[in-house]
């Protein structure tokens, strides 16, 4: 038997005691974690937890395992949204298939939950756009997915939005660049699969009645084409506007999570022609800023929201104390006096349903909502209590994070 692991080796070492020489389907339930099936899957997939971290194990032929291991590793290095791979186990006894080990994507939600819950605040079109953004990002990086489906995508709440992650790269191919035909083929495969998955939910009585599987699936190619065009098109504008228009375009790309590589501006008789070499950005400015100020690691939109709250807390402190408060001081006080009390108020039975930063964001939203209704500011304490009683319990526990992540010492802190 042989293991190939990406660093850090200490993380991999914690998995070595598992019964790698037996078929995954026969592993004793005591070593496995009960994570509900979230989509259509071809292989035996099981979950294990060690030292507070959760891993997904997939039994798959060695050649496919090696390829998926290599590709997922590349995706991660390139900042593409995908699950993170830890390693593979090959040369198992009796010619058994290999096992691919990925890190469980914490706080991810299945499409089943997102499409079936009538209370879900994410609209169908938002879900579809999230998937389309993922596909465009992959295509810009020369990745042909070959199996884009809802089952192979995990969705993570990020403030008001969602981010989609690729979970299954078994059929993926990496090219220096994708031809139009390949992109179209990939989109067509996605359309078929998404349609079939939604029909399946509908047959099972799990689809919200206002959603039409065919309409949703058919909208996918159009939305893809619109986004692809928007991020790759050439623009021509008046010379006296060029400075502002270039800045505007780059800003817009950044907001969508894309970055500009080379920017080419050519002056022609019609005006300035702008061509941007759009790349996938690890959306990061707000994340880095929040990490620097508070040590919190969260997603980009969550970070933007939290930073706004840090800023307003600072303004409030300055007003109260009648003197300037340095940013770092304000951030630490915000963390201790505002953020941590909210996170610590989450009762154990509700912990782990959403990332702490997402809970914080939702409490702020809820406060705004209650204040609007009441015609006055209800305050964070009341909003928090109401949110914990009425809103957070609506997020099903096992759809998001295996309970072990929420246990003390787990990775959810
Ligand atoms: N790292 C992971 N984090 C969270 N869920 C995962 C992870 N890996 C797999 N899964 C879940 O297991 C399912 C099956 O995994 P997948 O790689 O798609 O296998 P298959 O080849 O059988 O389709 C996925 O749809 C996803 O719900
Ligand atoms: Mg799959």
User: pLDDT digit string (tens) for 163-213?
Assistant: 899 999 999 999 999 999 999 999 999 999 999 999 998 999 888 888 899
Q: Is the confidence at residue 408, as pLDDT, over 60?
A: no
Q: Which residue has the higher pLDDT, 247 or 401?
A: 247
User: Which residue ranges does the chain devote to CATH 3.30.200?
Assistant: 2-103
Asked if 304 and 257 count as a contact pair (C-beta separation under 8 A), the reply is no
Give the whole-angstrom CA distance, residue 315 versus residue 312.
Answer: 5
What mean pLDDT, rounded, does the chain reach?
A: 88
| Whether the CB of 38 sits within 6 Å of ligand 1 | yes
Of 310, 295, 307, residue with least CA distance to 413: 295
How many helices (H) and strands (E) the chain has is answered by 14, 12
Q: Which CATH architecture has domain 111-232?
A: Orthogonal Bundle (1.10)
CA 94–ligand 2 middle distance (angstroms): 25
3-class secondary structure, 246: helix
User: Which residue ranges does the chain devote to CATH 1.10.510.10?
Assistant: 111-232
Look at residue 275 in the predicted model and tell me its pLDDT. 81
| Whether the CB of 41 sits within 6 Å of ligand 1 | yes
Give the whole-angstrom CA distance, residue 11 versus residue 50.
Answer: 9
Asked if 117 and 157 count as a contact pair (C-beta separation under 8 A), the reply is no
Atom 17 in ligand 1: residue holding the nearest Cα: 168
Q: Give me the residues paired with residue 33 across strands.
A: 47
Q: Which residue has the higher pLDDT, 398 or 336?
A: 336
Ligand 1 atom closest to Cα of residue 55 = 1
Confidence of residue 27 (pLDDT cuts 50, 70, 90): very high
Q: Which residue has the higher pLDDT, 20 or 115?
A: 20
Q: Is the confidence at residue 119, as pLDDT, over 60?
A: no
- For residues 343, 349, 354 and 358, what is the CA-based torsion angle, rounded to 10 degrees? -30
User: Helices 285-294 and 300-321 meet at what angle, rounded to 10?
Assistant: 50
Confidence of residue 409 (pLDDT cuts 50, 70, 90): very low
- The mean pLDDT value for 116-131 works out to 76
Of 160, 156, 146, 145, residue with least CA distance to 110: 156
Q: Is the confidence at residue 404, as pLDDT, over 80?
A: no
- For the domain spanning 2-103, the CATH number is 3.30.200
CA 139–ligand 2 middle distance (angstroms): 19
Give the whole-angstrom CA distance, residue 184 versus residue 178.
Answer: 10
């Amino acid at each position: 038997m042989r293991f190939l692991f990406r660093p850090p080796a200490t993380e991999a070492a914690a998995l070595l005691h598992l019964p790698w020489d037996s078929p995954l389907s026969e592993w004793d339930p005591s070593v496995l974690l009960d994570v509900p099936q979230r989509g259509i899957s071809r292989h035996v997939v099981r979950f294990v937890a060690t030292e507070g971290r959760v891993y997904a194990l997939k039994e798959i032929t060695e050649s496919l395992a090696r390829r998926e291991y290599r590709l997922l590793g590349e995706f991660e290095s390139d900042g593409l949204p995908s699950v993170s791979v830890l390693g593979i186990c090959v040369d198992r006894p009796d010619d058994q298939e290999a096992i691919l080990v990925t890190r469980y994507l914490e706080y991810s939600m299945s499409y089943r939950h997102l499409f079936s819950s009538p209370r879900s605040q994410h609209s169908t079109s938002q879900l579809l756009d999230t998937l389309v953004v993922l596909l465009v990002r992959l295509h810009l990086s020369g990745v042909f997915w070959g199996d884009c489906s809802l089952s192979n995508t995990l969705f993570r709440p990020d403030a008001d939005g969602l981010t989609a992650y690729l979970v299954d790269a078994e059929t993926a191919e990496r090219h220096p660049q994708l031809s139009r035909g390949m992109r179209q083929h990939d989109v067509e495969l996605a359309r078929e699969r998404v349609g079939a998955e939604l029909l399946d939910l509908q047959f099972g009585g799990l689809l919200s009645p206002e959603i039409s599987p065919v309409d949703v699936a058919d909208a996918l190619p159009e939305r893809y084409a619109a986004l692809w065009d928007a991020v790759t098109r050439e623009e021509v504008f008046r010379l006296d506007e060029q400075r502002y228009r270039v800045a505007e375009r780059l800003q817009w790309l950044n907001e969508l999570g894309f970055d500009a590589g080379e920017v080419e501006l050519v002056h022609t008789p019609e005006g300035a022609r702008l061509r941007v070499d759009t790349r996938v950005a690890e959306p990061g400015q707000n994340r880095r800023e929040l990490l620097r100020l508070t040590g919190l690691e969260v997603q980009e939109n969550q970070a933007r929201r939290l930073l706004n709250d840090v800023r307003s807390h600072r303004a409030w402190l300055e007003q109260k104390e009648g003197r300037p408060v340095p940013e770092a001081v304000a951030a630490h006080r915000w963390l201790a006096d505002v953020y941590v009390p909210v996170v610590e108020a989450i009762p154990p039975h509700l912990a782990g349903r959403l990332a702490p930063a997402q809970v914080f964001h939702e409490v702020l939203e809820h406060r705004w909502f209650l204040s609007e209704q009441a015609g006055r500011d209800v305050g964070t304490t009341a909003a928090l209590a109401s949110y914990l009683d009425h809103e957070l319990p609506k997020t099903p526990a096992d759809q998001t994070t295996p309970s072990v992540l929420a246990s003390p010492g787990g990775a959810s802190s």
